[in-house]
Chain A
Amino acid sequence: DSGVTQTPKHLITATGQRVTLRCSPRSGDLSVYWYQQSLDQGLQFLIQYYNGEERAKGNILERFSAQQFPDLHSELNLSSLELGDSALYFCASSADGDYEQYFGPGTRLTVT
């Protein structure tokens, strides 16, 4: 158990819909990262937050957004969903933005 929690574990929704994925980092970690894992693209970095502020951005679509709240939990919002958004979404956390990132169990999103 990494100490990172993610909810929900599974999510099935229809195209065009909007969903919110939630992540709670390890106790004491200030940085939260979001990654997408798909069969064709592998593990891809989406975005990083550090203590409530956006720190780095990857190839995150404009339809996707994230935020980190004062209690340090984070949410990833995915809107206008397309079939191609079906993937595993992982949250990871680290102590102060260093590279040793600890991953949660992931949310499996299926868009039908």
Chain B
Amino acid sequence: GQQLNQSPQSMFIQEGEDVSMNCTSSSIFNTWLWYKQDPGEGPVLLIALYKAGELTSNGRLTAQFGITRKDSFLNISASIPSDVGIYFCAGAGGTSYGKLTFGQGTILTVHP
């Protein structure tokens, strides 16, 4: 079945630094989404991407839908302590109507 490889698995950064993480798939997706999950809570939708090559921003967050439709990238600029959490990519499309396939997550720690 479809698998998503998300990297890095974890990141330890200083407040104010920029962060990059990415997700790659063995097959094509029509939609890429990025979620953030805080401990004990459900994932929160950050950004949704619908077209290959699309670049979308949400505040300090910028995500891109890769040209090959097999990858996506998330950048966080000028990180702050509340950015701490687990970031998940998710892919959808094709025959998997409605179903999201999630990456393993990137654990982000921000040191003040």
Count of A interface residues, CB-CB < 8 Å: 27
- B87 near A: Cβ within 8 Å? no
Given known A100-B33, A100-B45, A105-B41, contact A45–B104 (CB-CB < 8 A): no
Given known A42-B104, A42-B105, contact A97–B41 (CB-CB < 8 A): no
Question: When chains A and B are docked, how far (Å) is the Cα of A2 from the Cα of B41?
Answer: 11
- B48 near A: Cβ within 8 Å? yes
Closest-by-CB residue of B relative to A43 is B102
Give min CB distance, B2 to chain A, whole Å.
11
Question: When chains A and B are docked, how far (Å) is the Cα of A14 from the Cα of B44?
Answer: 31
Give min CB distance, A58 to chain B, whole Å.
6
Please tell me if the beta carbons of A100 and B43 are within 8 angstroms of each other in the complex. Answer: no
Please tell me if the beta carbons of A106 and B48 are within 8 angstroms of each other in the complex. Answer: no
Please tell me if the beta carbons of A99 and B31 are within 8 angstroms of each other in the complex. Answer: yes
5 A-B pairs besides A43-B43, A56-B98 with CB distance below 8 A are A4-B42, A42-B105, A44-B102, A92-B42, A97-B97
